[in-house]
Amino acid sequence: MNNGKFLMMIILLAFSLPFAYGGCGGSTSDLVDTGGKPHISNLFYTPQSADLGSGDGSIPVFGSIDFKDNDRDVLELTINLFDSAENKIDGNTYPIMDAFGNKSGTIEATFNINTSVEDDYTFDIFVTDQFSHTSNTLTGTFSIINPAWKTRASMPALRKMMGSVTLSGKIYVIGGSDGTTLRDETMVYDPATDSWVFASSIPTARLSLTVSAVNGKIYAIGGDNLGELDTVEEYDPTTDTWATKAPMPTERSSLASGVVNGKIYAIGGKTNVPVMTVEEYDPTTDTWATKTPMPTRRRGLAAAVVNGKIYAIGGLHGGGLSNDVEEYDPATDTWTSKASMPTARRDLTAAVVNGKIYAIGGTDSWAINDVVEEYDPATDSWAIKTPMPTVREYLTASSANQKIYALGGSSGGGGAAGLDTVEEYDPSLD
């Protein structure tokens, strides 16, 4: 259904007769034009928003306005509707015969709103008397909202180019930049209470790192601190302490990582140029091993793990933006090319819910974007999903309780300030 038809349905239902009206009566036999204009006030309606597709596609809304008209000849009500781009979609005028002959009263209506079209709408209302004198105008808004995305409590600090991981139901956001300064904070988000706390700071402030969790501990790997790093630092939430571990063999930033069978695989990234390096870290022995390189060198990529395999997604290679998807099987130390991501982009993020990978945000060939694309490894296929509310690159995401939390990032390019934005995505509602 297009927007015009949708809004026409609102108009026809919103102020169609009969109206429930209350006011004091008066004679209409000797009305004359005194030049008096009617006045309306107290626009009330509830609800003022609805979820996309709610109420089996239609929900009832109750609305009312109060009017005063000393000439006692209020005759018509006009409503004009506009879409979110401020384009006038439609406008109609309706008779309000029950109000004629009264100096004041209330005009009420119950109407249905079609919820199959997502947008933010505005509507203007005014009344006119029998001598074409027009009242003041009242304005209202109504939003049809996709419930798949919701805004959550902001991070306690601006941040981009950081890492994140979920451990024991909480999300740990580590390092990054606020836009001007490298940061060492560790911020912890509890989705159950929608709240943040600070934990012990990472010893080495850095951005463009990767973060993974193994056996109840968190590992911050690589990154940039006035140059690429090989630094590996381990965080123990039970003691809120950090420890330095064996360095990664190859100094890298803008890399990605995944965990399979208790080992961390650090993939791609950049030294001076994008690399295809894959190195395996075993936290039990605190040792590194070199593995088969990724077929396509990339930095600013995302990685996700499903069924014991790691998927390296998107990024930037020597020839430009990448939509490559390559699957790594640690059991055989081999790579396989998979169906390309629909939108080539860099500095995106990814998270997994119910065996599907969601590639979120980043920068495509045109601009920073809000793109969300779902990859199903079982069918090697992609689907377009509801966009993220805030366009962002250099963000991170982690999943908890079958939902994805998109955290921070930047909406203004590499030199812009970080964001404290947190948006929750529920794939089951999309």
Say if residue 344 is in the same domain as residue 259: yes
Give the pLDDT of residue 287. Answer: 98
Q: Which of 109, 125, 145 corresponds to the end of one domain?
A: 145
Residues with Cβ < 8 Å from 246, sequence gap 6 or more? 232, 281, 286, 287, 288
Looking at 91, 123, 145, the residue that finishes a domain is 145
Task: Please give the pLDDT value at position 17.
Answer: 29
58 and 154 inside one domain: no
Q: Read off the pLDDT band of 152 (50, 70, 90).
A: very high
The verdict on 271 and 397 lying in the same domain is yes
Co-location of 164 and 121 in the same domain = no
Mean pLDDT of the region 171-197: 97
Q: In what order do the strands lie in the sheet with 210-214?
A: 210-214, 217-221, 232-236, 241-244
Instruction: Check if the beta carbon of residue 133 is closer than 8 Å to that of residue 38.
Output: yes
- The pLDDT value recorded for residue 94 is 83
In the chain, % of residues over pLDDT 70: 92
Indicate if 14 and 112 belong to the same structural domain: yes
| 269 has pLDDT over 60 | yes
Say if residue 75 is in the same domain as residue 126. yes
> Are residues 192 and 65 both part of a single domain?
no
Whether 9 shows a pLDDT value over 50: the answer reads no
Q: Is the pLDDT of residue 276 over 80?
A: yes
Q: Convert the pLDDT of each residue in 235-259 to its tens digit.
A: 999 999 999 999 999 999 999 999 9
Asked if residue 332 and residue 209 are part of one domain, the reply reads yes
Instruction: Give the lowest-confidence range in 63-72, 92-101, 183-192, 416-425.
Output: 92-101
**Considering the chain, what is the average pLDDT of its residues?**
90
pLDDT tens string 294-326 = 999 999 999 999 999 999 999 999 879 999 999
Residue pointed to by tokens 């860099």: 346
Chosen domain end from 145, 164, 187: 145
Domain harbouring 92, CATH code: 2.60.40.2550
- Confidence at 414, pLDDT banded by 50, 70, 90: low
Give the dihedral sign, CA 150/375/330/349. Answer: negative
Same domain, 334 and 349: yes
134 and 173 both lie in a single domain:
no
State residue 5's pLDDT score. 32
Residue 30 confidence class, pLDDT cut points 50, 70, 90: low
**Is 282 found in the same domain as 211?**
yes
The reply to whether the predicted model has a pTM over 0.85 is no
Q: Are residues 96 and 117 in the same domain?
A: yes
pLDDT digits (tens, 9 = 90+) for 61-116: 888 999 999 988 998 999 888 888 899 988 888 888 778 888 999 988 777 777 88
Contact call for residues 393 and 128 (beta carbons, < 8 A) = no
What is the span of the domain harbouring residue 19? Answer: 3-145
Total domains in the chain come to 2
Above 90 in pLDDT, residue 227?
Answer: yes
Q: pLDDT value at position 4?
A: 33
CATH code (residue 384): 2.120.10.80
pLDDT mean over 205-214: 98
Q: Averaged over 185-206, what is the pLDDT?
A: 98
pLDDT band at residue 18, thresholds of 50, 70 and 90? very low
Q: What is the pLDDT of residue 323?
A: 97
